[in-house]
Amino acid sequence: MSFRTTVAIVLLACLSIPLTGCLITGDHHESTSGTQVSDATFNQIKPNSTTEDWIRATLGTPSTESILRDGGRILKYSYTEKRESSGAVFLIFGGHDEKRIDHTAFFEIHGGVVTKAWRE
**Tens of pLDDT along 71-119?**
999 999 999 989 888 777 666 667 777 888 999 999 999 999 999 999 9
Q: What is the pLDDT of residue 33?
A: 87
Number of domains comprising the chain: 1
Residue 18 lies in a domain: no
Residue 28 lies in a domain: yes
Q: What is the pLDDT of residue 3?
A: 60
Is residue 70 pLDDT above 90, yes or no?
yes
Residue 100 lies in a domain: yes
Residue 7 lies in a domain: no
Residue 100, phi then psi, degrees to nearest 5: -125, 130
Mean pLDDT of all residues in 8-36:
67
Q: What is the pLDDT of residue 114?
A: 98
- What is the residue range of 114's domain? 23-119
Q: Which long-range contacts (CB under 8 A, 24 or more apart) does 114-119 make?
A: 114/45, 114/46, 114/47, 114/48, 114/49, 114/50, 114/51, 114/52, 114/55, 115/47, 115/48, 115/72, 116/47, 117/42, 117/45, 117/47, 117/50, 119/37, 119/42
Is residue 17 pLDDT above 70, yes or no?
no
Residue 88 lies in a domain: yes
Residue 72 lies in a domain: yes
Q: What is the pLDDT of residue 37?
A: 93
Q: What is this structure's pTM? A: 0.67
Residue 60 lies in a domain: yes
Residue 57 or 97, more confident: 57
Banded pLDDT at 22 (limits 50, 70, 90):
low
**What CA–CA distance (Å, rounded) separates 61 from 40?**
19
